[in-house]
Amino acid sequence: MSWTFWTRRRDAMPSPSQPDWERALINRMALDYLRDQRNRRRWGIFFKLLILLYLIAILVAAYARDLIDGGDSGKAHTALIEVKGVIASETDASADRVIAALRKAFETEQVKGVILRINSPGGSPVQAGYINDEIKRLKAKYKQDKGKEMPVYAVAVDLCASGGYYIAVGADAIYVDKASLIGSIGVRIDGFGFEEAMKDLGIERRLLTAGDNKGILDPFSPLPESQRIFIQGVLDTLHRQFIGEVKMGRGDRLKGGDELFSGLFWSGQEAVELGLADGLGSSSSVARDIIGAETLVDYTRKRDLYESLAKRLGVGVASGLLETIGMGGGVVR
């Protein structure tokens, strides 16, 4: 409070010579307190709204920039689609997002070729399989409708392994950096066994199931040999499917033996020698030298504004902001 304000308030105080001056003084002090509280609340709300508007402006600007970057170009160009991170249903590299971007690229007249820029350790074989199948379907449909091929190339960045490579073999050719890591053609399932630790700690596991194998892979129960054989059979089936897709996509270009399908991975330079990749190159060099349309336009499916809010500010902060402006509660997903 300023000195002038306090002086004014002191002058307005009742004099002891007035009747009931104590009650008047208390009333005056209570009114002054309530007035101060209202002023503080007003300024608090003002600054909170100002900060909220500032954050929203930043998000809108970032989202608008993403839309511009991902928009169509009026001239011939190469469509770039990122496959980045773990391939799973709720990630940026999900089949839904990648397939939506592929369809948009194939539908755009100015697109002369598509580059899948892959930087992924793998993930769901189902999601990777969806993308691989859609690449082949779109290419066949485009050739039937247009009477010509739409070239699709995979470009590996740091890592193109497992499910990432599963997607890559659906392309016409694979280009890598000499230091990229390529391969890991295999299937795995992880788990722990705490049975002996439970015994040492004197803990009894009480697992009730309806179905002899319903508790399969329970980490606190032993793994019977029959269940181990069954799980291995499932993994072998998935592995054969993976190998079949690699052989279908790469064909006679493969120069290695069974070691290619053992789960090992190689440098980009070694991958070219083994026929797992076709040559060294980047997205820019492939667009310029192979496709012949040097301009790259990003067709990667962007998150909408609601998703961007959750991703950029974090789940907790975004949830709080959305509650503040009356857009629901709970966790933002």
Q: Where are the beta strands (DSSP E) in 30-151?
A: 77-84, 111-120
State yes or no: is 136 an active-site residue.
no
Q: Closest Cα to residue 279, out of 179, 177, 157, 184? A: 177
Q: How many CB atoms lie within 10 A of CB 234?
A: 11
Read off the amino acid at residue 184.
S
Q: How many CB atoms lie within 10 A of CB 39?
A: 11
Q: What are the angstrom distances between the C-alpha of 327 and each of 57, 311, 315, 321, 331?
A: 17, 17, 14, 9, 12
Among candidate residues 94, 120, 124, 162, the one labeled active-site is 162
- Which two tokens mark 260? 């290619």
Question: What kind and span of H or E run contains 240?
Answer: helix 225-250
State yes or no: is 311 an active-site residue.
no
CA-to-CA distance for 94 and 267, rounded, in angstroms? 26
Among candidate residues 48, 199, 214, 255, the one labeled active-site is 214
- Which two tokens mark 74? 């009026």
Residues assigned a catalytic role: 162, 214
